[in-house]
């Protein structure tokens, strides 16, 4: 009995730890595979995840026992779909379940490949990524291909057209091109959230390399995206790649030389690229939180329920960034606050004290109504901060106006002289007969 209690007591911290709301990085990841061979052929990528503290759960995609949630609780924090050919998931998982998983704030890594199934394509389409409709088409680049021993059909391409964002790809520059062999996709122009992380070179196109081109390919040049990410409005992050082999040990370890380029790199950029990208996708980088929004009149500390026009007020918010281990103060000089009622009446850049606190002070405009303090902070790669706090602004009360104004002295004089005159007149009129 005592032993049981002891076990329970030692378990408490662990149990508590797993539920802490402060934890933003994912800890449990479900990896769905076409077959278990992938587990060893892509072991470098998985190892890098495991070494960063993630708990990987490998399952076959058609395993009938897999489930994303139980009793309404999600069992995993992220999902890796390395099963490009799967037509139907096992268990209760389908495309809608995966999208619900994302819509409730969880992350997703999807890898398609040459013969990607309709299911994978559907999931991608729902995220704003359209793979080439021609199922036999792959990305071909006759001038940006990776030089290899055999001439080949130029479907193994070396791309170095990365998104320019330190937040997404890490501050260390990726020197070597990334090897890619797979299908291309385009971004849905109506989706404003999807980003091209790795795009094909202007000479690339998407077609079946084994057959003769009869009509112009539907995807051309640098509009072809090879790897894309989406940050949803609820800050769930999604990585979509047109190739599964880019994650493989073979690509991670192989050397690369881009056609036409004299430099030959001993190691391709794949490992660095996908490791950094997975850090971003799994919220180890670029995750901001805003807490402790405060506003009050200058000289006071309590938040009022209503402001008066022309009040002077102070506004402050604390913003922190997740470093992978702890919340660090976020430092930036471009965070702005709006005092907003249908349009911003005040727009001020917040100053910060390098300890995460952003603050400013301003005067309430001479307009009454229901205003909002709005902070809309959208920076490439960072989670978008959208804070709004409603506060009404009232006009002056009847006794808050100035009692005597100099401009009105003639009127005061007139009124009092009239009274005096009337009094004198009455007296004279009544008693002077």
Partner 1 sequence: MAVTTSTPTSPPSMAQDLLNSLPKTLKLKTKQQELLIRVTTLGLIYILAFITRLFSVLRYESMIHEFDPYFNYRTTLYLTEHGFSEFWNWFDSDSWYPLGRIIGGTLYPGLMLTAAALYKILHFLRFAVHIREVCVLTAPFFASNTAIVAYFFGKEVWDSGAGIVAAALIAICPGYISRSVAGSYDNEGVAIFALLLTFYLFVKAVNTGSLSWSLASAFGYFYMVSAWGGYVFIINLVPLYVLVLLVTGRYSLRLYVAYNCMYVLGMLLAMQIRFVGFQHVQSGEHMAAMGVFFLLQVFFFLDWVKHLLGDVKLFQAFLRITVTGAVSVGAIALGVGTASGYISPWTGRFYSLLDPTYAKDHIPIIASVSEHQPTAWSSFMFDFHILLFLFPAGLYFCFKRLSDATIFIVMYGLTSMYFAGVMVRLILVATPAVCLISAIAVSATVKNLTRVVRAKVQTLQSGSGKGTSASKGSSKGVIDNSQPFQKNGAVVLLLGAFYLLSRYAIHCTWVTSEAYSSPSIVLAARGAHGQRVIFDDYREAYFWLRQNTAPDAKVMSWWDYGYQITAMGNRTVIVDNNTWNNTHIATVGRAMSSYEDEAYDIMRSLDVDYVLVVFGGVTGYSSDDINKFLWMVRIGGGVFPVIKEPDYLVNGEYRVDKGAAPKMLNCLMYKLSYYRFGELTTEYGKPPGYDRARGVEIGNKDIKLEYLEEAFTTQNWIVRIYKVKPPKNRW
Could you tell me which residues come within 8 angstroms of residue 367 by beta carbon, excluding any fewer than 6 positions away?
309, 341, 345, 393
Residue 230 lies near partner 1 (rule: CB under 8 A):
yes
Which span sits near partner 1 by CB under 8 A: 44-52, 71-79, 191-199, 345-353?
A: 191-199
Q: Which of 128, 184, 242, 356 forms a contact with partner 1 (CB under 8 A)?
A: 128
65 is an interface residue for partner 1 by CB under 8 A = no
CB of 164 to partner 1, least distance (A): 23
Q: Which is nearer to partner 1, 112 or 157 (CB)?
A: 112
Which of 83-91, 133-141, 230-238, 270-278 is the region at the interface with partner 1 (rule: CB under 8 A)?
230-238
Complete DSSP assignment for 210-270: TS---S--SSBGGG-EEEEEEE-TT--EEEEES-SGGGSHHHHH--B-BTT-S--BSS-SH
347 forms beta bridges with 338
Min dist. Cβ of residue 206 to partner 1 (A)? 24
Nearer to partner 1, 59 or 106 (CB): 106
Rounded to whole angstroms, the Cα distance separating 25 from 123 reads 23
Handedness of CA 265, 271, 276, 281 (dihedral sign): positive
Q: Tell me: does residue 429 bind partner 1 (CB under 8 A).
A: no
Q: State yes or no: residue 214 binds partner 1 (CB under 8 A).
A: no
Among the residue ranges 60-68, 263-271, 355-363, 370-378, the one whose residues contact partner 1 (CB under 8 A) = 370-378
Give the 3-state secondary structure of residue 22.
Answer: coil
Torsion sign (Cα): 424, 427, 431, 433: positive
Q: Is 397 in the site for partner 1 (CB under 8 A)?
A: yes
Check residue 421 for interaction with partner 1 (CB under 8 A): no
Q: Which residues ranging from 236 to 265 are in contact with partner 1 (CB under 8 A)? A: 236, 238
Helix or strand (DSSP H, E) at 42: none
Residues 6 or more apart whose CB falls under 8 angstroms from that of 287 comprise: 24, 235, 321, 322, 382, 383
Say how far apart CA 273 and CA 296 lie, in whole Å.
46
Residue 17 three-state SS: helix
**Subset of residues 149 to 188 that bind partner 1, contact rule: CB under 8 A:** none
Residues in binding contact with partner 1, number by CB under 8 A: 31
432 Cβ partners below 8 Å, 6+ apart?
none
Tell me: does residue 191 bind partner 1 (CB under 8 A): yes
Among 234, 263, 417, 426, binds partner 1 (CB under 8 A): 234
The smaller minimum CB distance to partner 1, of residues 267 and 308, is found at 308
Q: Closer to partner 1 at the Cβ: 176 or 230? A: 230
- Find the binder of partner 1 among 20, 192, 214, 301 (CB under 8 A): 192
Residue 361 parent element (H or E)? strand 357-363
**Per-residue tokens: 115:** 């013969």
CA 63/CA 86 separation, integer angstroms = 11
For position 119 contacting partner 1 by CB under 8 A, the verdict is: no
Regarding 97 and contact with partner 1 (CB under 8 A), the answer is no
Examine residue 126 and tell whether it contacts partner 1 (CB under 8 A). Answer: yes
The values of phi and psi at residue 107, to 5°, are: -100, 160
Binding of partner 1 by 369 (CB under 8 A)? yes
Q: Which of residues 297-336 bind partner 1 (CB under 8 A)?
A: 306
Binder of partner 1 out of 327, 330, 371, 373 (CB under 8 A): 371
CB of 384 to partner 1, least distance (A): 12
280: its two tokens: 């971003």
Q: Which one among 395, 409, 416, 422 touches partner 1, defined by CB under 8 A?
A: 395
| Contact pick of 342, 406, 407, 429 for partner 1 (by CB under 8 A) | 342
- In 3D space, the residue among 256, 255, 251 whose CA is nearest the CA of residue 241 turns out to be 251
**In this chain, which of 264, 394, 405, 419 binds partner 1, going by CB under 8 A?**
394
Q: How far apart are CA 376 and CA 185, in angstroms?
A: 31
Q: Does 292 bind partner 1 (CB under 8 A)?
A: no
Asked if 190 touches partner 1 (CB under 8 A), the answer is yes
Q: Binding of partner 1 at residue 95 (CB under 8 A)?
A: no
Is residue 238 within 8 Å of 229, Cβ to Cβ?
A: yes
336-341/369-377 β-pairing: antiparallel
- Which residues are near partner 1 by CB under 8 A? 99, 102-103, 126-128, 190-193, 230, 232-234, 236, 238, 306, 341-342, 368-372, 390, 392-395, 397-398
């Amino acid at each position: 009995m005592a032993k049981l209690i002891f076990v329970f007591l030692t378990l408490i911290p662990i149990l508590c730890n797993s539920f802490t709301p402060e934890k933003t990085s994912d800890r449990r990841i479900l990896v769905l595979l076409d077959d278990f061979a992938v587990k060893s052929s892509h072991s470098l990528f998985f190892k890098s995840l495991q070494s960063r503290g993630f708990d990987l759960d490998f399952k076959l995609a058609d395993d009938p026992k897999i489930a994303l949630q139980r009793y309404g609780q999600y069992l995993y924090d992220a999902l890796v779909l390395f099963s490009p050919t799967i037509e139907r998931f096992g268990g209760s998982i389908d495309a809608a379940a995966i999208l619900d998983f994302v819509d409730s704030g969880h992350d997703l890594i999807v890898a398609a490949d040459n013969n990607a199934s309709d299911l994978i394509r559907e999931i991608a389409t729902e995220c704003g990524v359209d793979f080439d409709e021609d199922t036999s088409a792959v990305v071909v680049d006759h001038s940006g291909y990776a030089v290899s021993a055999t001439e080949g059909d130029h479907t193994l391409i070396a791309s170095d057209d990365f998104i320019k964002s330190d937040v997404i790809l890490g501050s260390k520059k990726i020197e070597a091109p990334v090897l890619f062999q797979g299908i291309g996709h385009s971004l849905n122009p109506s989706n404003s959230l999807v980003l091209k992380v790795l795009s094909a070179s202007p000479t690339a196109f998407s077609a079946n390399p084994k057959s003769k081109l009869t009509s112009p390919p539907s995807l051309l040049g640098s509009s072809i995206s090879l790897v894309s990410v989406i940050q949803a409005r609820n800050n769930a992050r999604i990585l979509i790649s047109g190739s599964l082999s880019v994650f493989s040990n073979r690509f991670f370890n192989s050397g690369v030389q881009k056609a036409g380029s004299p430099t030959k790199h001993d190691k391709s950029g794949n490992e660095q690229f996908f490791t950094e990208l997975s850090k971003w996708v799994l919220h180890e980088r670029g995750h901001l939180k805003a807490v402790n929004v405060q506003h009050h009149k200058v000289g006071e500390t309590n938040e009022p329920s209503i402001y008066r026009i022309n009040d002077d007020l102070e506004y402050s918010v604390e913003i922190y960034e997740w470093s992978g281990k702890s919340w660090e103060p976020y430092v930036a000089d471009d965070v702005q606050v709006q005092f907003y009622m249908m349009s911003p009446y005040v727009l001020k850049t917040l100053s910060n004290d390098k300890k995460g606190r952003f603050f400013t002070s301003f005067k309430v405009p001479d307009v009454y109504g229901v205003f909002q303090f709005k902070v809309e902070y959208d920076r490439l790669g960072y989670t978008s901060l959208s804070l709004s706090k409603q506060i009404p602004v009232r006009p002056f009360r009847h006794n808050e106006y100035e009692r005597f104004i100099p401009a009105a002295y003639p009127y005061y004089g007139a009124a009092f002289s009239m009274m005096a005159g009337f009094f004198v007149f009455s007296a004279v009129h009544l008693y002077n007969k």
